[in-house]
């Protein structure tokens, strides 16, 4: 079982979208028993809150159940618990590295999986309002990630 934690700033837009996209993709490819997926934020600003409506709309349009989600902050125990801690952008990765140190095989930016797309991180749709762009980038990266299992 591989355990994956997706991390963004507030854990309401990008990381929950990645969590539910990967979980759904793994299930549809018969890999659900091999992968455990969760998400968290570096800030804790939205602890206990539901995901952003834009993320929920994307997941609803894809018929992906996201019930029961509650935002949470990265915990000290996450480094030992997860095999991969995947940041949504360079700022998130820097924050994680301050907490856990530099471990490029375990912690990296999600778009590192799809360098051909030309992105250095997933733009935050909280600010851009482009949740479709987020979905496109995360689906491509999650597909590459699944190929590793």
Question: Catalytic one among 13, 14, 23, 78?
Answer: 14
Q: What is the pLDDT of residues 8-51, one digit of tens each?
A: 999 999 999 999 999 999 999 999 999 999 999 999 899 999 99
Q: Specify whether the CB–CB gap between 54 and 14 falls below 8 A.
A: no
- Find the mean pLDDT for residues 129-138: 98
pLDDT band (50, 70, 90) for residue 145: very high
- 8 belongs to the catalytic site: yes
Q: What is the pLDDT of residues 49-63, one digit of tens each?
A: 999 999 999 999 999
The reported pLDDT for the residue numbered 128 is 96
- 3 belongs to the catalytic site: no
How far is the C-alpha of 142 from the C-alpha of 80, rounded, in Å?
22
Which residue do the tokens 């206990």 mark? 48
Question: Catalytic one among 8, 23, 24, 38?
Answer: 8
- Decide: residue 123, CB within 10 A, 0-12 exposed, 13-18 middle, 19+ buried: middle
Question: Catalytic one among 78, 89, 124, 142?
Answer: 124
- Find the mean pLDDT for residues 124-144: 97
């Amino acid at each position: 079982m591989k355990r994956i934690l997706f991390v963004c700033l507030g854990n309401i837009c990008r990381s929950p979208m990645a969590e539910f996209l990967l979980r759904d993709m793994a299930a549809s490819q018969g890999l659900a028993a091999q992968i455990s997926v969760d998400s968290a934020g570096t800030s804790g600003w939205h602890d206990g809150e539901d995901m952003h409506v834009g993320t929920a709309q994307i997941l609803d349009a894809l018929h992906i159940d996201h019930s029961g989600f509650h935002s949470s902050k990265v915990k000290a125990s996450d480094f030992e618990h997860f095999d991969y801690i995947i940041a949504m952008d360079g700022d998130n990765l820097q924050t994680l590295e301050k907490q856990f140190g530099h471990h490029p095989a375990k912690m990296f930016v999600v778009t590192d999986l799809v360098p051909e797309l030309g992105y250095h991180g997933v733009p935050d749709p909280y600010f851009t309002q482009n949740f479709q762009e987020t979905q496109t980038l995360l689906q491509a990266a999650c597909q590459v990630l699944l190929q590793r299992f």
